[in-house]
Structure 1
Amino acid sequence: MDIVVAIFGEGKNLDALQMAARTVAVFFLALVFIRISGRRSFGQRSPFDYVVAILLGATLSRVIVGASPAVPTLVASLVMVVIHRALAWACVHSPRLESLAVGVEREVFRDGQFNRKQMSAALITRTDVFETARRELHTLDLDDVQLAILERNGQVSLIRKRTSSGAH
């Protein structure tokens, strides 16, 4: 046990090498926790997923700097990712729970008309949609856009109008 204290330190009185040792250990433990949590944590990036990412980072940083006891803080981090994984599993099996936890996509533009009700509910502006058109389609207008959808991750997807030949 003395060797563990010598390497990782105890409490808030840590030297640079002990903090470095904690950083290495926490890095690999965080990697394990993220693997337990699943790919959604950093792949899909919905608000549901950001919660675990932010809390995990904040909690594990306390272990590195010695602001909280290491073992209880690591256990709390593990509990956090297990809850995330369980909730993600439950969302797969319950569309209603999924819409509550992750949200729903919103149609904010269709056939030349903005849907003010959906835009207001999502706190998105016309400028946000035009910005996406400039970035994604390299155009200043929405003439070629049939549909704009605010996705659950906060990004706007633009669906082009079909041409008479059926091509995009």
Structure 2
Amino acid sequence: MFIVMLRTIILYFIVVITMRIMGKRQIGEMQPFELVIAIMVSELASLPMQDTRIPLVHGVIPIVTLLFLQAVISMAELKSEVARTIFSGKPSIIIKDGTIDIKQLKYDRFNINDLFEELRLQGYYNIEDIQYAILETSGQLSVIPKTELEPVTRQDMKIKTTQDLLPVTLVLDGKINHHNLKVVDKNTSWLSSQLKQNNIASVDKVFIALIDSKGKFFYQLKEGGTD
């Protein structure tokens, strides 16, 4: 029993490290060759877990080999258009100028119900409102509306704005993130003064405190109280 547990733990960490090295794509964003490798890695890892007669190294070596293969293919795709076409394919234009390309739809085996579902999920209900709908190599649908139907921006209306910043967490569950304090050019004295201004006796009572996208100090107490 202990051996099975140990083998499982070892293989778990090997698979996690392998997937991390492969990159940060989600399953739905993987290219076909990446998805195949991910499935094969999971199958190879499960065999030594289930059967203790299989040497652990017989599971590790194929996983490492697949990782190497993925790295080689990714490098080839970076350098060669032909390799990208072979392993990942090409994007397909499903809708052009408000008209569905029926032949392309059949070629990609993408049925009309799936197309309408994807369009609805992205907030588009009329085919004639779409300039291009592109089926990406990952299987996701990119939609470009007709120019006259694009949302009005502040720039279009000539409204002066300031660029929003990335929110930075300073306190999480009562613990100060000193690295993030340095990122926003603040220190613990400044944080303490902010807490005092909001009548917070101790940082231990804070569930989360951050600098939001507008540069404002925001906090929420563990009891649920907010600014």
Structure 1 CA distance for aligned equivalents of residues 61 and 139 of structure 2:
31
Show the counterpart of 2:39: 54
Counterpart for residue 162 of structure 2: none
Provide the aligned C-alpha RMSD in A.
2.3
- Structure 1 residue 146: deviation in Å? 1.3
Shift of 1:145: 1.4
Question: 107, 112, 115: which is aligned to 1:129?
Answer: 115
* 1:161 to partner: Cα distance: 1.2
For residues 32-111 of structure 1, what are the structure 2 equivalents within 5 Å?
Answer: 32-39=17-24, 44-66=29-51, 68-111=54-97
Larger CA Rg, structure 1 vs 2? 2
- The answer on 1:19 being equivalent to 2:7 is no
Q: CA 1:161–1:85 in 2, change beyond 3 Å: closer, same or farther?
A: same
Offset from partner CA, 1:109-139 (integer Å, 9 cap, x none): 01121112211211112222211111111x4
Q: Mean Cα displacement is larger for which, 111-120 or 75-84?
A: 111-120
CA offset digits 1:9-34 (Å, max 9, x no partner)? xxxxxx2x332222211111112222
Is the 8 Å Cα contact of residues 28 and 138 (structure 2) preserved in structure 1?
no
- Residue 158 of structure 1 aligns to a residue whose secondary structure is strand
Distance, in Å, in 2 between the alignment partners of 1:52 and 1:42 is 12
Letter in structure 1 aligned against 2:106: S
With over 3 angstroms needed to count, the CA separation of the structure-2 counterparts of 1:165 and 1:89, relative to structure 1, is closer
**1:164 and 1:121, CA in 2 relative to 1: closer, same or farther beyond 3 A?**
closer
**Does the 8 Å CA contact 1:63/1:74 hold for their aligned counterparts?**
no
Deviation at 1:151, TM superposition (A): 0.7
1:146 aligns with 2:128: no
Unaligned runs of 5+ in 2: 154-227
Q: Which runs of 5 or more residues in structure 1 are unaligned?
A: 1-14
2:21 maps to a residue whose letter is I
- Higher helix proportion: 1
Rounded Cα–Cα distance in structure 1 between residues aligned with 2:98 and 2:109: 20
Of the two structures, which has the highest relative contact order with CA contacts closer than 8 Å and spacing of 6 or more? 1
What TM-score does the superposition give when structure 2 sets the normalisation length? Answer: 0.60
Report if aligned partners of 1:41, 1:49 keep a CA contact under 8 Å in 2. Answer: no
Q: Could you tell me which amino acid in structure 1 is paired with residue 37 of structure 2?
A: V
1:41 to 1:165, Cα distance in 2 relative to 1, 3 A: closer
CA deviations on 1:84-132 (whole Å, 9 max, x unpaired) are 1111111110011111101110001011211122112111122222111
| TM-score where L is the length of structure 1 | 0.80
> Are residues 1:112 and 2:98 paired?
yes
Residue aligned with 2:126, SS: coil
Task: Quote the Cα distance in structure 2 between the aligned partners of 1:28 and 1:123.
Answer: 37
**Paired residues, number:** 152
